[in-house]
Structure 1
């Protein structure tokens, strides 16, 4: 079944495969919408969203950091064939040396790709993460 499914640990599963039958669920995804368009739409609909692989320890650390700050990010687990549709982080960012073909996990704040765990921690240690979260309405101080 195509759409979003809530799994354990507040993880939302994004299934990009074509549906077997027509679905009237509010969480279903339009078949005509490409994987890239779906991901862009999800990024625009959520102030903080993490795209991850199943059982990704870096995603777990990213989520724990954000939850500790009082933010509850939307976490979308992608299959290997869906990861290619993720927008890449900035080429000069801290995660630029990580495998460019493997952009997951990736966190987006306010529609902008922050990058992976290293970028998120760097943003936090520099003191810029909390103001950015406040700016996008994900955190109230």
Structure 2
């Protein structure tokens, strides 16, 4: 899996499992469980940009992973086939922008982020 991750502070780091013992599905699953909040998206996705902006507005800075076309299936499968962008908070699939907005409008987003440890101090 070749992808680019952006972590808090805007730092970028490459992700690669070429030659590793993990399948792309295992790697995606591990990233979901290891990160309090993670977004999988396509490169240049405007919906992902909106998700990041809303999360930043509530003081959360998720790991953002831009996938290559070949790896999109693994992330989409982890999201229950919902497609990309796919947001996970505390290991739970939130969905895309609609799922995030639904949580925010119901007042559930900040408590969920707090419980997952995804809010910045």
Q: Do these two structures clear the TM 0.5 threshold for a shared fold by scoring above it?
A: yes
What is the distance in 2 between the residues matched to 1:117 and 1:130?
Answer: 15
Aligned-pair distance for 1:140?
6.3
Aligned with 1:59 (options 24, 28, 48): 48
SS in 2 for 1:71: coil
5+ residue gaps, structure 2, are: none
| Residue correspondence of structure 1 range 29-108 to structure 2 within 5 A | 31-86=20-75, 87-89=78-80, 100=81, 103-108=83-88
TM-score (norm 1): 0.72
Aligned-pair distance for 1:5?
4.8
Q: Which has the higher contact order (CA 8 A, sep 6+)?
A: 2
Matched residue count: 116
* Structure (1 or 2) with the greater strand fraction: 2
**Higher Cα radius of gyration:** 1
Change (3 A) 1:54 1:129: same
Aligned-pair distance for 1:14?
3.5
Residue by residue over 1:91-117, the C-alpha shift from the partner in whole angstroms, topping out at 9 and shown as x without a partner, is: xxxxxxxxx5x6110000000110000
Name the residue aligned to 2:15.
Answer: 14
Residue by residue over 1:73-105, the C-alpha shift from the partner in whole angstroms, topping out at 9 and shown as x without a partner, is: 10000011101012134xxxxxxxxxx5x6110
Q: Please list every run of at least 4 consecutive aligned residues from structure 1 whose deviation after the TM superposition is greater than 3 angstroms.
A: 2-7, 9-16
- The question of 1:136 aligning with 2:120 is answered no
Aligned with 1:122 (options 98, 102, 106): 102
When the two chains are superposed, the root-mean-square deviation of aligned CA atoms in Å is 2.3
Aligned-pair distance for 1:137?
1.2
What is the distance in 1 between the residues matched to 2:116 and 2:45?
Answer: 26
5+ residue gaps, structure 1, are: 20-30, 90-99
